[in-house]
Amino acid sequence: MTIFQQNVQLQPYNTFGLEAKASEFAVFQSVEQLKAALNQRVDQPLLILGGGSNILLTQDFDGLVLKNELTGYQVLKEDNSHVWVEVAAGENWHQFVLTAIENNWAGIENMSLIPGTMGAAPMQNIGAYGVEIKQVFERLSALEINSGEIHQFSNQECQFGYRESIFKKEAKGKFIITSVVLKLNKQPEYNVSYGAIQQTLEEMEVSDLSIKAVSDAVIRIRQSKLPDPVEIGNSGSFFKNPEIDKIDYEGLKAEFSSIPGYELPDKRVKVPAAWLIEQAGWKGKTFDKIGVHKKQPLVLVNYGGGRGADIRDLAFKIQDSVSDKFGIILTPEVNII
Ligand code: FAD
Ligand code: EPU
């Protein structure tokens, strides 16, 4: 029998640091505990919580919050070139990256310091500095909420895209991810071409490239750019970077000559949302206790005591002004609850 706590304050469990109460709350540390909690649930709405680093709580949650504390990992098999590791969904992502580096398992070092849990990582196919989880993802196990059965999803079945997966589309709200199998490399293939990695490695005077050095460089860049949620509440990038048709991009380029764009394979161009938001005049703007971060305008922040509903309204205003100026609709990356 799982004990559901009543009226639990979620502020410690979301990186925006927003106050919101859950009418019922429980943690699960095993799949059995998870199943028992689901059996006990009546008909109320359900929220699965990992590290709370990609949610915006706009009001009290009138339902059951289940916090994932499934921990542990095991090597399933290995050969000369790869190792297959199954990681419980409640493991902290960055701690597991450090474990992989200690074991000399390569492939996720570019994604160092992303907050949150292993189980949430495939939800939006987390990515940073030129690498996404889909590149090392083998399969996952997930409990189907309605049937209580465990399903396996292969890489293909997850339908990964840029900050996308089946779990944000047709499988949304239907599964609870319980473990993830990653296929990591014993021989590293370094990916240092993205952004400032190479330059940072030079500043760090790294002569022998290693996955630890890449991780250290990524950590250094991230710490210089992104606010630490311990100091300033935030959920990382609030919006996705929009992908537009090349022809539309060229039209914008004629009007806004400095607009940056990264060509994608399918005649599409990815435009940095940070640039659009900055050009629309929002960078560093503060509105009482909330605002747009002064170094990275894609990050909305709670300076302390702000309200989630106000952050949502600010996001709407930013969307409107970017749409008015550039004709581009920004899509939130953060899950608004
Ligand atoms: P939560 O916020 O707890 O949950 C997110 C969503 O997934 C919710 O809808 C939740 O219900 C659902 N969910 C969580 N766990 C499960 C589960 N086991 N089964 C089913 N559903 C589940 N993201 C990037 O991709 N790249 C970055 O570089 C990056 N940088 C960030 C930097 C900062 C400072 C912050 C605060 C966030 C950043 N993020 C980044 C976003 C965030 O870290 C990731 O999306 C992360 O994977 C969220 O994990 P979480 O456990 O905190 O998820
Ligand atoms: N830019 C500005 N003004 C600024 C900052 C940035 O115009 O003040 C423009 C510049 O053109 C810059 C570009 O935005 O080159 C890109 O900025 P940055 O390198 O900081 O990356 P990002 O596009 O803002 C994305 C991800 C991050 C990820 C980094 C590194 C999305 C939505 N965000 O950010 O992921 O860590 O690249 O790979 O794709 C997250 O998803 O939460 C997240 C933090």
| Entry pTM | 0.97
Rounded Cα distance between 171 and 161, Å, is: 15
CA 132, 274, 47, 61: dihedral to nearest 10 degrees?
170
- Asked if residue 23 lies in contact with residue 6, where contact means CB atoms within 8 angstroms, the answer is yes
Task: Tell me whether residue 213 is in a domain.
Answer: no
* pLDDT at residue 1 greater than cutoff 90: no
Q: Tokens 């990275």 identify what position?
A: 296
Q: How many domains does the chain have?
A: 3
Judgement on whether residues 50 and 98 belong to the same structural domain of the protein: no
* Average predicted confidence (pLDDT) for the chain: 97
Give the end-to-end CA distance of the chain in Å, rounded to a whole number: 28
Q: Compute the average pLDDT of residues 279-298.
A: 97
Task: Over range 182-196, report the average pLDDT.
Answer: 93
The Cα 325–Cα 337 span in angstroms is: 28
- Domain membership flag for residue 220: no
pLDDT score, position 2:
77
Coil, strand or helix: which one is 159?
coil
Q: Which of 139, 237, 243, 312 is catalytic?
A: 237
Domain CATH number, residue 115: 3.30.465.10
pLDDT reported for residue 265: 85
Tens-digit pLDDT profile for residues 103-136: 999 999 999 999 999 999 999 999 999 999 999 9
25: containing domain:
5-68
Q: In the structure, what pLDDT confidence band is assigned to residue 204 with cuts at 50, 70 and 90? A: very high
Is residue 334 pLDDT above 90, yes or no?
yes
CATH code assigned at 39: 3.30.43.10
Q: Cβ–Cβ contacts within 10 Å for residue 19, how many?
A: 16
Residues 175/158, Cβ–Cβ less than 8 Å: no
- How far from the centroid of its chain's Cα atoms is residue 152's Cα? 21
Ligand 2 binding site (Cβ under 6 Å of any ligand atom): 128-129, 195, 225, 236-237, 240-241, 260, 272, 274-275, 278, 283, 296-298, 333
